């Protein structure tokens, strides 16, 4: 068979969602890579990767725009990936968004097996089509470090009476994902806890911080159950993370909430004025404290 015929077998296996058939098209030690794999995959890792894509996009398909020889043993293919995100991807909940992602594969064939597939597509376009943020920033510049953050809000506008703060240092990107997995499970549980106001998680490199606002210190004890309790066992288990600390903070003073009057444009002490501006107009509802 010609290299283009081997490539066609590869494409057809993708269309059938047949992981075993995809793996079977590769030579022993053959590799697959694309912008989402971090490093080249080989053997069953290729099948696991494709299975993860189909779980995230059950209707995944590829529209082959062109496929042609591009040199001895090399096939170049242009495609558009179609699918709707109905399942979890990298631990994130499904967005329900559909993608029509253009990309290209360069397939190196030796004999009747694939030696390598190098896939190319724009990760920013992929993220944007999924409704995700695509932020480009450095890891660090001088004394400044950059990262990501996430927040969970209960919607309460109560003035916080207590904050819990956790600071954790991990060893690798894999441990970052492990901690994020726990956080994704803990956050919905906290939404059901009495006295919970909001939660903020920050990741900067391998440094991870969480700040949680509560109505009072008595509510913090609820963290001694559920997934948070399991996460603490993991922290104190063998060969996990670098270190970390937890703390409970009672604020000495939280200032008043100022709100701009939509009628006269002045900033007004919402609570002192009991929700009414000096000009007589009702003030808009104040934002959450935290």
Q: Quick one: tokens of 103?
A: 């990309």
What does pTM read for this prediction?
0.67
pLDDT of residue 177: 86
pLDDT of residue 35: 93
- The full set of domain ranges for the chain reads 3-129, 140-249, 255-290
Architecture of the 3-129 domain: Roll (3.10)
Give the tens place of pLDDT for each residue, 34-78: 999 989 999 999 999 999 999 999 999 999 999 999 989 999 999
- Are both 3-129 and 140-249 of the same fold? no
pLDDT of residue 38: 81
pLDDT of residue 55: 95
140-249: CATH class: alpha beta
pLDDT of residue 89: 81
pLDDT of residue 237: 87
Give the tens place of pLDDT for each residue, 195-228: 999 999 999 999 999 999 999 999 999 999 999 9
Q: In 10 A of CB 85, how many CB atoms?
A: 23
pLDDT beneath 50: ranges in the chain = none
């Amino acid at each position: 068979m010609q290299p283009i015929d081997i490539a066609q077998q590869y494409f057809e296996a993708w269309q059938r969602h047949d992981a075993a058939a995809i793996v079977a098209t590769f030579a022993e030690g053959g590799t697959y890579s694309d912008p989402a794999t971090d490093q080249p995959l080989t053997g069953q890792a290729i099948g696991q990767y494709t299975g993860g894509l189909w779980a995230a996009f059950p209707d995944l398909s590829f529209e082959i725009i062109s496929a042609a020889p591009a040199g001895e043993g090399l096939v170049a293919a242009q495609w558009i990936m179609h699918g709707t995100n109905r399942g979890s991807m990298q631990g994130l909940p499904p967005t329900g968004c559909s993608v029509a992602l253009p990309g290209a594969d360069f397939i190196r064939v030796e004999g009747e097996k694939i030696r390598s597939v190098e896939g190319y597509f724009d990760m920013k376009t992929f993220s944007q089509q999924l409704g995700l943020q695509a932020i480009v920033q450095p890891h660090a510049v001088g004394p400044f470090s950059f990262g990501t953050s996430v927040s969970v809000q209960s919607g309460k506008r109560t003035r916080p009476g207590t904050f819990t703060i956790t600071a954790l240092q991990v060893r690798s990107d894999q441990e970052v994902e492990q901690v994020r997995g726990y956080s994704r499970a803990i956050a919905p549980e906290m939404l059901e806890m009495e006295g919970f106001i909001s939660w903020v998680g920050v990741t900067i490199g391998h440094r991870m911080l969480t700040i949680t606002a509560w109505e009072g210190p008595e509510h913090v004890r609820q963290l001694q159950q559920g997934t948070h309790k399991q996460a603490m066992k993991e922290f104190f288990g063998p060969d996990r993370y670098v270190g970390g600390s937890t703390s409970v903070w009672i604020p000495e003073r939280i200032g008043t909430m100022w709100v701009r009057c939509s009628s006269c444009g002045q900033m007004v002490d919402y609570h002192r004025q009991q929700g009414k501006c000096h000009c007589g107009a009702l003030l808009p509802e104040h934002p959450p404290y935290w």
